[in-house]
Amino acid sequence: MLKTVKVWTLKWVCGSALVLLVGLLTAQGAEAKDRVPNSIFSDPAVVELGKALFWDMQVGSGNGAQSACATCHYQAGADSETRRVVSSTRSDGIIGSLGVRESQFRGISLLEKGVASATDDTSKPLDFLITGRQAPPTVESEFTHNFWDGRANNCFNGVDPGGQEGQRGLHQWSKDGGGIVPTTFLLCDASQASQAVGPPNSDVEMAARGRTFPELGYKMLRVKPLAMQTGDLADELSTTTAGHYDTMINDAFGDVLGEFIGDEAVAGVPEIRVTDSNGNRTLVEPSLTEQNFSLFWGLSVMAYELTLESYAHVQKPTRAQKKSFKRMRCDSCHLTDGTSAAHVFTGKNGKSFISTGVADASIDPGVVDDFVGRDPFEGNFKTAHLFNLPLTAPYFHDGSAADLSEMLDFYIRGGNRVDQKVKIKNLKGRMKKRDKANVIAMLEGLTDPRIAKGSGPYAHPSLQLFLDDGSYFWMHASDDPEADSKTPGLSYGETKTIEP
């Protein structure tokens, strides 16, 4: 146990040193580093803001089916409840994640004077949309190039997942008294922040088509955090003075990013579309905080996700298990301690994104640029971490393995695509009788018991989960398993298998 903790600490110390180094070496990074010390990621106010935003169902555009980040990342950070999995199966056979109903954004609607409704004004909603890939777990997603194809940029620009610098809408108070001026931001080793600003306005995952981040900011600054939910955090925020997103942003970032925060209107940027209680549409200039909402969003959600670690809380593999893991060649790509080969600091160069022939690469090409030194378009996907697998089925980017046994059978037969350039081989000749059972036991042992209990960083509010026919059920809050039991629910950490 002691050894485990030491290794973990070492991993973090190396990580922090590198974050600082990268910050010092790049000119923009130096400015960003001065503005955002690495310590913000462990600031409880930043973590609390990120957790509230991650779980808040008011973020999604709605159409009667609200959604949060957690909607697709609720169980050990993945989307694995049986009914949801069935609802997320596409006509092409890929198991993705159920997103929002297709619609066009028209405005933020103010139902009461000065109070935004939790539902946006949109065109008539059509069918539910489903993502083209499985949702990988947010737990243990730190310091990798995020997404199955690694496209979330390692350097966060405060605005979008692509990460390039340049004028992209951020504004700040100028230091020499020149009022509010356009500005840029860049912070490296922050792939989770880059990733986090993608889904909120994605017209498949969470929003009606065309909603902008300042518009989302405008709405969130006018609603009560987690107003539709109960339990951990939701109840807490309803009784504290921090229970308002602008107070929470001030508490979290007032010291380090004060020049990005303010009620003053920003001119010369796209205006916020607002629908009043009579259905009239007007345009208003965003406030400075609203205009910069994506910056606070990315940094705080990353801070929350950094708390979702399992490494130090799992059983270490036995010698027999490790031997079987090696005999099945799993260790040629995955790390035996369960961490991802794509970890920026401790991963395996050359094995972090690789082709195992899960699916037809001409349909989903995986990595499309060479940032990991791989030939693009050949079906290279991220070598996943191996934590909490019993809670996150189905497996692989297309959800094609329903359980651990099917997942291992895939490797034993040498993958699904012998016609493609694939880096795994048929294992039948080299395996011993107990190998499969040993590896399953090893993977089960790499599960963090706190997740099923909903304890520590895994405590969470209730969450309404929709199915593709428009029906829904509630996941109970971790501290109140009886709450919201109006519809059949599930308790966090319940393991489900996929129905045939």
Enumerate binding residues for ligand HEC (CB under 6 A): 54, 67, 69, 71-73, 96-97, 99, 131, 133, 135-136, 138, 141, 144, 146-149, 192, 195-196, 199-200, 205-206, 301, 328-330, 332-334, 351, 354, 356, 358, 381-384, 386, 389, 392, 395-397, 407-408, 411, 423-424, 439
Nearest approach, Cβ of residue 455 and ligand HEC (Å): 22
Q: Rounded to an integer, what distance in angstroms lies between the CA atom of residue 191 and that of residue 152? A: 6
CA distances (Å), origin 460, targets 52, 79, 111, 204, 224 = 9, 15, 29, 25, 17
Instruction: Tell me if 409 sits within 8 A of 343, measured CB to CB.
Output: no
Nearest approach, Cβ of residue 286 and ligand HEC (Å): 20
Nearest approach, Cβ of residue 152 and ligand HEC (Å): 7
Nearest approach, Cβ of residue 275 and ligand HEC (Å): 24
Which residue is listed with tokens 């020049």?
A: 259
Instruction: Tell me if 80 sits within 8 A of 64, measured CB to CB.
Output: no
CA distances (Å), origin 21, targets 16, 30, 165, 236 = 9, 10, 19, 38
Closer to ligand HEC by CB, 40 or 443: give it: 443
Closer to ligand HEC by CB, 173 or 325: give it: 325
Closer to ligand HEC by CB, 48 or 172: give it: 48
Greatest CA span in the chain, whole angstroms? 74
Q: Rounded to an integer, what distance in angstroms lies between the CA atom of residue 380 and that of residue 396? A: 12
Nearest approach, Cβ of residue 285 and ligand HEC (Å): 25
Q: Which one, of 235, 457, 225, 423, lies nearest residue 329 by Cα?
A: 423
Nearest approach, Cβ of residue 279 and ligand HEC (Å): 29
Q: Which one, of 295, 284, 235, lies nearest residue 259 by Cα?
A: 295
Nearest approach, Cβ of residue 67 and ligand HEC (Å): 5
Q: Which one, of 450, 135, 136, 494, lies nearest residue 310 by Cα?
A: 450
Q: Name every residue whose Cβ is closer than 8 Å to that of residue 324 and which is 6 or more positions away in sequence.
A: 432, 434, 435, 436, 438, 439, 442
Closer to ligand HEC by CB, 183 or 468: give it: 468
CB atoms within 10 A of CB 277: 12
Nearest approach, Cβ of residue 454 and ligand HEC (Å): 19
Q: Rounded to an integer, what distance in angstroms lies between the CA atom of residue 318 and that of residue 326? A: 12
Instruction: Tell me if 232 sits within 8 A of 460, measured CB to CB.
Output: yes
